């Protein structure tokens, strides 16, 4: 699995990228939320969040461990291809499916749904230097409150 347009050939996009030449996938690895660089509107920032992306066939497996502002521990997990199709998500109070689509070598978009209804959209962009990634989310949370988050993560490990 590569975080690149090459795997989107089977999905919706056709392109080439540096990743085809064997360069490391910029998304894979362990990412830690940088709360100081992140912004949360309509919701409170978590105390911490660590997200691990690993290759899973032609897709990606994601496990996110989060400690909420009130100290609750959440583990959100899913495996998806970049084909725009909904996949089940466990552990999120806000959504129960997510669909991923390629935009470019370093960016994907997502649509999250709860019981079949779209509740959040956004994008994940890995910086050109591969040292940080930004997840922008717009929509509503489980309480129905409008949210806009810009979560900045620092890369801790690579696969």
* Domain residue spans of the chain: 5-157
Alpha carbons 27 and 50: distance in angstroms, whole number? 13
Instruction: Mention the CATH class of domain 5-157.
Output: mainly beta
Please, which contacts does 22-26 make with residues 24 or more away whose CB atoms are closer than 8 Å? Answer: 24/130, 24/158, 24/159, 25/1, 25/55, 25/159, 26/105, 26/106, 26/126, 26/130
- Which pLDDT belongs to residue 24? 52
Using the 8-state DSSP alphabet, how is residue 106 labeled? T
CB atoms within 10 A of CB 146: 11
Tens-digit pLDDT string for the chain (159 aa): 443 333 332 333 233 233 333 345 899 999 999 999 999 999 999 999 999 999 999 899 999 999 999 999 999 999 999 999 999 999 999 999 999 999 998 999 999 999 999 999 999 999 999 999 999 999 999 999 999 999 999 999 877
Name which of 79, 38, 49 is nearest 61 in CA terms: 79
What is the distance between the alpha carbons of residues 48 and 153, in angstroms, rounded to a whole number? 11
Q: Distance of alpha carbon 82 from its chain centroid, rounded?
A: 11
Q: What is the pLDDT of residue 9?
A: 28
Greatest distance between any 2 Cα atoms in the chain? 45
Q: How far apart (Å, rounded) are the C-alpha atoms in residues 159 and 52?
A: 10
What is the reported pLDDT for 90? Answer: 98
Question: Which segments of 10-154 does DSSP mark as H helices, in order?
Answer: none
pLDDT for 145: 97
């Amino acid at each position: 699995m590569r975080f690149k347009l090459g795997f989107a050939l089977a999905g919706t996009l056709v392109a080439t990228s540096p990743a085809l030449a064997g360069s490391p996938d910029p998304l894979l690895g362990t990412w830690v939320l940088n709360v100081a660089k992140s912004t949360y509107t309509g919701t409170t920032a978590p105390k911490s969040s660590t997200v691990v992306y690993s290759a899973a066939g032609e897709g990606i497996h994601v496990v996110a461990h989060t400690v909420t502002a009130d100290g609750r521990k959440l583990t959100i997990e899913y495996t998806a291809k970049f084909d725009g199709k909904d996949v089940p998500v466990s552990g999120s109070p806000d959504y129960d499916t997510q669909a991923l689509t390629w935009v470019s070598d370093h960016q994907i978009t997502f649509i999250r749904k709860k019981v079949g209804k779209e509740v959040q959209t956004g994008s994940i962009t890995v910086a050109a230097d591969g040292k940080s990634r930004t997840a922008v989310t717009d929509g509503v949370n489980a309480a129905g409150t409008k949210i806009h988050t810009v979560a900045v993560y620092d890369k801790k490990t690579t696969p």
